[in-house]
């Protein structure tokens, strides 16, 4: 039986310790690299949540602005309709109080009133319709498409690490994966900074459209009342000569 020398045993132990150290270093490096990927995932998720909350706040703000503009339009219509109803009520009293006309003429004038009342109602509907169409187009097309795009892109960032894994060979070239994630992180940070200002400017731009639509509605309301007054003067002219 051969006896292993003490020097050989010491040399074997030294090599064993060396390879164990190499293995531990490799495991440590691999763990470090994996920790970097986990950190990326955490950062992407945190940024996505913060950005989503900011977009949600802007959504609410945009909705409040649109509701306020519609309320202003409704108030103007709420002023117009009672005013025209009151004018029609006074007009009916004039017809009923008219002297020197027979029942047939009075009936004919009432029929004219009913006919022109239909036209006057169409005028009110036109005012409401054009105000609604213009404000609705601005409300739907100005802020929401961009907010939806930002929200969709922001949601994609949550799975960015997994998506990058699918595009890269993490075993052969982990640095390339980390490099891609660095670039994506910079992109999402830039997106998070820029989207808020952009969407806020979109909300503020509602005001110019709302002011124009409101002024157009006021003008339309004035024209509708003027037309009603002209209609009533025309109808009353029949009472001057007993519809002859």
The answer on pLDDT for 44 being more than 90 is no
pLDDT averaged over the chain?
A: 80
217 pLDDT tier (thresholds 50, 70, 90): very high
**Axis-axis angle for helices 206-236, 174-204 (nearest 10):** 30
The DSSP string of 167-220 is HS-TTT-HHHHHHHHHHHHHHHHHHHHHHHHHHHHHHHTHHHHHHHHHHHHHHH
Structure tokens at 37: 């990927």
DSSP 8-state secondary structure symbol assigned to residue 100: S
Instruction: Find all residues with CB under 8 Å of 218, minimum gap 6, and list them.
Output: 76
Residue predicted with more confidence, 15 or 145: 145
16 pLDDT tier (thresholds 50, 70, 90): very low
**pLDDT at site 55:** 87
CB distance 211 to 134 below 8 Å: no
Q: Quick check: is 128 in a domain? A: yes
Q: Quick check: is 170 in a domain? A: yes
Q: Quick check: is 165 in a domain? A: yes
CB distance 94 to 106 below 8 Å: no
Q: Quick check: is 15 in a domain? A: no
pTM here is 0.70
Structure tokens at 128: 């409401």
Q: Quick check: is 236 in a domain? A: yes
Could you tell me the sign of the dihedral formed by the alpha carbons of 127, 133, 138, 139, in that order? positive
170 pLDDT tier (thresholds 50, 70, 90): low
Q: Quick check: is 18 in a domain? A: no
**pLDDT at site 191:** 84
Tell me the pLDDT tens digit for each residue of 86-109.
Answer: 999 999 998 888 888 888 888 889
41 pLDDT tier (thresholds 50, 70, 90): confident
Residue predicted with more confidence, 172 or 8: 172
Domain range enclosing 235 = 34-240
25 pLDDT tier (thresholds 50, 70, 90): very low
Domain count for the chain, please give it: 1
**pLDDT at site 37:** 73
- Beta-carbon neighbour count of residue 51 at 10 Å? 23
Q: How far apart are CA 201 and CA 205, in angstroms?
A: 6
- Largest Cα–Cα distance of the chain, in whole Å? 149
CB distance 213 to 131 below 8 Å: yes
Q: Quick check: is 17 in a domain? A: no
The DSSP string of 123-155 is HHHHHHHHHHHHHHHHHHHTTHHHHHHHHHHHH
Torsion of CA 105, 108, 112, 117, to 10 degrees: 100
CB distance 77 to 215 below 8 Å: no
The answer on pLDDT for 9 being more than 60 is no
- Beta-carbon neighbour count of residue 163 at 10 Å? 15
Q: Quick check: is 29 in a domain? A: no
């Amino acid at each position: 039986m051969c006896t292993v020398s003490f020097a050989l045993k010491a040399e074997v132990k030294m090599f064993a310790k060396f390879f164990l150290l190499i293995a531990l270093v490799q495991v440590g490096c691999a763990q470090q690299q994996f920790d970097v990927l986990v950190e990326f995932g955490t950062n992407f998720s945190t940024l996505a949540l913060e950005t989503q909350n900011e977009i949600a706040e802007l959504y609410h703000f945009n909705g409040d602005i649109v509701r306020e503009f519609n309320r202003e339009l409704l108030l103007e219509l709420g002023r117009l309709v009672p005013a025209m109803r009151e004018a029609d009520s006074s007009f009916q009293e004039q017809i009923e109080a008219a002297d020197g006309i027979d029942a047939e003429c009075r009936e004919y004038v009432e029929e004219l009133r009913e006919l022109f009342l239909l036209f006057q109602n169409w005028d009110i509907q036109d005012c409401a319709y054009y105000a609604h169409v213009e404000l609705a187009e601005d409300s739907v097309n100005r802020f929401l498409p961009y907010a939806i795009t930002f929200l969709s892109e922001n949601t994609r960032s949550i799975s960015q690490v997994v998506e990058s894994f699918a595009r890269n060979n993490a075993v052969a070239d982990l640095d390339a994966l980390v490099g891609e994630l660095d670039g994506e992180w910079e992109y999402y940070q830039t997106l998070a900074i820029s989207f808020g200002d952009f969407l806020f400017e979109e909300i503020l731009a509602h005001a110019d459209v709302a002011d124009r639509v409101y002024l157009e509605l006021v003008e339309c309301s004035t024209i509708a009342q003027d037309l009603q007054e002209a209609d009533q003067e025309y109808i009353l002219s029949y009472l001057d000569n007993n519809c002859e």
